[in-house]
Amino acid sequence: MTDYDVLRVFCGPNGGYGNELGVVRDGSVMPERSDRQALAAKLGFSETVFVDDPERGVIDIYTPTLRLPFAGHPCVGTAWLLDVPELVTPAGVVGARLDGEFSWIEARAQWAPPRTLRQYPTAAEVDALPVPPPGEWIYAWAWEDEAAGRIRARAFPGRDDGIEEDEATGAAALLLTDRLGRALNITQGRGSQILTAPQPHGWVEVGGRVFLER
């Protein structure tokens, strides 16, 4: 079996929750895309990352069913694991930095896959949502405290691969930040935390806590 690390990305303040991520540090052991896709499907994480050059931060990202040019929580987690100043993805070069307990990336909204950002009147309505049938990728959100930038969100990938809800999704948070044009403190899923901040020239920072599970 190929060696891989398991991280939890965008953990809550107490270190709980977060979205699991698989990282194959030595991508050279599995160079073929078809083999990588098969492993990502077998592992079953919402994303699995293959590191092709750990010093330069060159990475390749897969869901259980497709390859992604960019994704948020895989970039945040892998940047933390490799401790590099940037990551090279098919979408572009992602800036990275550590700031205390938070790992941050800087990316552009147009790199994120399409998402339906659906606002609800209250956080309670977001909490009560059932998982929708497979179809469009929905990021359901509501203000918890608009003045403070606090948001309640849930993410439904709409894929028919067994992942009904994503615990924490950086790319969707990036899109929402770009749309609203302000810094956000997002509580997603069961208790994950995502921080964001718009930057000059169309860049957005996305940050969170990362823990090595195994």
How many helices (H) and strands (E) the chain has is answered by 4, 14
Structural domain spans, the chain: 1-214
Intervals of the chain under pLDDT 70: none
Nearest alpha carbon to residue 92 among 209, 166, 203, 207:
203
* Secondary structure string (H, E, C) spanning 109-155: HHHCCCCEEEECCCHHHHHCCCCCCCCCCEEEEEEEECCCCEEEEEE
At 24 the pLDDT is 98
| 199: phi then psi, degrees, rounded to nearest 5 | -125, 165
Nearest alpha carbon to residue 64 among 88, 36, 91:
36
Listed in sequence order, the residues at least 6 apart from 100 whose beta carbon sits closer than 8 Å to its beta carbon are none
At 113 the pLDDT is 87
pLDDT tens-place string over residues 40-83:
999 999 999 999 999 999 999 999 999 999 999 999 999 999 99
Q: What is the dihedral of CA 7, 139, 128, 160, to 10 degrees?
A: -70
Q: Is the pTM of this model over 0.75?
A: yes
At 53 the pLDDT is 97
Amino acid of residue 16:
G
| Residue range 1-214, CATH number | 3.10.310.10
Mean pLDDT (the chain, rounded): 95
